[in-house]
Amino acid sequence: MEIISTAQPVMRVAILDLYDNFPNQGMRCIKQIIHEQSGLNEGVQLDFDVFECRYRNEFPNPEQYDMYISTGGPGSPYDGEGKQWEKNYFGLIEKLWSHNQNHNENKKHVLFICHSFQMLVRLFDLGHVTQRRSTSFGVFPVHKTVEGMNDSILGLLPDPFYAVDSRDWQVVQPNFNRMREIGAQILSLEKIRPHVDLERAVMAMRISNEFFGTQFHPEADPIGMSIYFQQEEKREQVIKNHGLQKYEDMINHLNDPDKIMLTYSTLIPAFLNQAINSLQGELVNE
């Protein structure tokens, strides 16, 4: 276990790794945010463990963790169909959901990012998860719904805000009947494209007070990512796959403090802070 500080009380975060051993920047960013947030809330210590759900079929004991961050990952959100790791992943999420529905205290707070968000939508039948016509890659504006503007987390960001997007799949055609049944709300949609006759994909959804999902990557660290993508090999790879203009736009957006830095410093910290405050309130009331 990685110990971040010696302050008390201790709260535990389980990082559910869906990267399937694929090289990525996301894990570094998530760990960094947890390190940065530890100790900022009246001396609360955040400890975290990483579970390689997809690659090693590793899963936490749900009774031992207060917060969960489920990562993005490569490939199709249907890749795990019929595999034991997906059965175990869905089983864990269902246990956490059931716990929250049946307990008034010690709620389990879960953030779902990109690939994990698509899997959550599949599990709860909240919409259609389909393949895009082309890859979405870069830094894009994300537009909030009315619910997003009033959300306790997304409401902290401007409209539109900017986020890193990297995906071949999308959530479209929301199942509003199912959403009403469980109390889920769409918080944001992808960029407005008046020249494209296609439905705008869902970019963030609140499933409950404790379950929150984003299609974009709120963990993206602009400084680290800028250094990473300016490496010659990575630069040439992006230009080859997406063009020089897309590469230059992405680098410029990464260096703009009002874009990715604002999202990075706001969303996951707010998720952690709300979980901490909720759990602290339960401790005070015991």
Q: What pLDDT is recorded for position 254?
A: 80
- Helix or strand (DSSP H, E) at 137: strand 128-144
Q: What pLDDT is recorded for position 198?
A: 73
Tokens 């959530």 -> residue: 171
Tokens 């870069």 -> residue: 138
**Burial letters 177-189, b for 16+ CB under 10 A, else e:** eebeeeebbbbbb
Spell out the alpha helix ranges (H) of the chain.
Answer: 26-37, 53-56, 84-102, 115-124, 146-149, 176-182, 222-229, 232-242, 244-254, 260-285
DSSP β-bridge partners for residue 67 = 13, 109
Q: What pLDDT is recorded for position 282?
A: 55
Token representation of residue 238: 């992006």
Q: What pLDDT is recorded for position 2?
A: 57
DSSP β-bridge partners for residue 169 = 131
Q: What pLDDT is recorded for position 1?
A: 56
Radius of gyration of the CA atoms of the chain, in A? 18
User: What is the separation of C-alpha 113 from the centre of its chain, rounded to a whole number of angstroms?
Assistant: 2
Closest CA to 73 of 111, 13, 25: 25
Q: How many helices (H) and strands (E) does the chain have?
A: 10, 9
Q: What pLDDT is recorded for position 286?
A: 40
Q: What pLDDT is recorded for position 100?
A: 97
Q: What pLDDT is recorded for position 283?
A: 44
CB atoms within 10 A of CB 126: 23
CB atoms within 10 A of CB 105: 11
Digitized pLDDT (tens) for each residue of the chain, 286 residues in all:
555 544 468 899 999 999 999 988 899 999 999 999 987 766 789 999 999 999 999 999 999 999 999 999 999 999 999 999 999 999 999 999 999 999 888 999 999 999 999 999 999 999 999 999 888 878 889 999 999 999 999 999 999 999 998 889 999 999 999 999 999 999 999 987 666 667 889 999 999 999 999 999 999 998 877 887 788 887 888 888 888 887 888 888 888 888 999 999 999 999 999 999 998 875 434 4
Q: What angle do CA 238, 18, 72 make, to 5 degrees?
A: 45
